[in-house]
Structure 1
Amino acid sequence: MPKGRIEHANISVTDPDRSAALLAELLGWHERWSGPSMNDGRTIHIGGEDNYVSLYTNPGVAGEYRKGQPLNHIAFMVDDLDAAEKVVVRHGLEPFSHGKYEPGPRCFYFFDWDGIEFEVVSYE
């Protein structure tokens, strides 16, 4: 049976630089590539060696997304949940729905500036 993994997710955002700065600080990622893209757009690939998020924009991207249309959320795993939450707050965003499971806090969620929901989880 074949095995797979997520190689990348491509999301539309109003400000790829702002979103890339958040993900770089939150996850220790780096810019893998950036440049012009379709429909007079611009894209930044931000990630690690094996996977990334493609942050796309063009003049028609307005943001103001609603949860579940079509994306519910993207989850990132971190090794320090408290440090990750401080990064989110430092970027002016508001964490919510802190999940507490045995043996302790495990996750929180936040919406970015465009209304995209992210989950940050730790199993440490």
Structure 2
Amino acid sequence: MPKGLLEHVNISATDPDRSAALLERLCGWKERWRGPSMLGGRTIHVGTDRQYVALYTGDQVKGDFAKGAPLNHVALEVDDLAAAEGVVKEAGLEPFGRGDYEPGERFYFFDWDGIEWEVVSYE
């Protein structure tokens, strides 16, 4: 049976530079690529050598996304939850829903476009 790995997720962002900077600070990631999108607009890839988030923007990207339509949240694993929460607060965003339950401790936040992110630590 094949084994899989989530290689990337592509999301829309009104300001991909701002979102990329947050993800770089939050996860210790790097920018892998940036350039024009095949369908117009532009994209920034930020992540590791094997996995990344593609942040797309174009004229049709207006923000104010609704939770659950269809995305509920994107989860990120970090090794220092308190430091990650500090990064989120420094960005002017508000962590909520902090919980410590199996299998790890976590919190959530909405970014500037209304996308919900979960940040979890198993340390």
TM-score, with structure 2 as normaliser: 0.96
What does residue 114 of structure 1 align with?
A: 113
Aligned: 1:75 with 2:75:
yes
Percent identical pairs in the alignment equals: 67
1:1-124 to structure 2, matched below 5 A, reads 1-101=1-101, 106-124=105-123
Aligned length: 123
1:102 positional shift: 6.3
Unaligned runs of 5+ in 2: none
Distance 1:106 1:16, change over 3 A: same
Instruction: State the AA in 1 paired with 2:96.
Output: F
- Superposed CA offset, 1:60-92 (max 9, x none): 100100100010000000000000000000001
Unaligned runs of 5+ in 1: none
Q: Extract structure 1 runs of 4+ deviating beyond 4 A.
A: none
- Superposed CA RMSD: 1.3
Q: Using the alignment, how far apart are the partners of 1:119 and 1:57 within structure 2? A: 22
Instruction: State the AA in 2 paired with 1:64.
Output: D
